[in-house]
Amino acid sequence: MSQHTSLKLKALSGRHRNVLKRYERIKKLKQDERWQDGMSAYGLPKVKSVKVKVKKAKAGPKAEGAEGATPAAGGTAAAPAK
């Protein structure tokens, strides 16, 4: 019997999750300098997890003479009108 693709660990590695495990919350609190030595691991304060979106830059028009602009570079040339 095979394992379902959603249950594989690779699928979870880069996914954004809103609910963090206890050790992840403690790690985030330490980064924010809100964790004090001797605090209990139970009853932790809320930790906001923010999903960061990266916008892709729009591709500007290519200048003439740029690489790949010639038809010999793999592009198809239009047939001349007769």
Question: Cα–Cα distance between 69 and 75 in angstroms, integer?
Answer: 8
| Residue 25, phi-psi category: left (phi > 0), alpha (psi -120 to 50), beta (remainder) | alpha
Fill in the DSSP letter of residue 20: P
Residue 26 lies in a domain: yes
Total tally of structural domains belonging to the chain: 1
Residue 67 lies in a domain: no
Residue 42 lies in a domain: no
Residue 14 lies in a domain: yes
51 Cβ contact list (under 8 Å, min separation 6): 16
Residue 30 lies in a domain: yes
Residue 13 lies in a domain: yes
> 26 lies in which domain range?
9-36
- Tell me the pLDDT of the chain (82 aa) as tens digits: 888 887 777 655 677 888 899 999 999 999 999 999 999 999 999 998 888 888 888 877 776 655 655 555 555 666 667 6
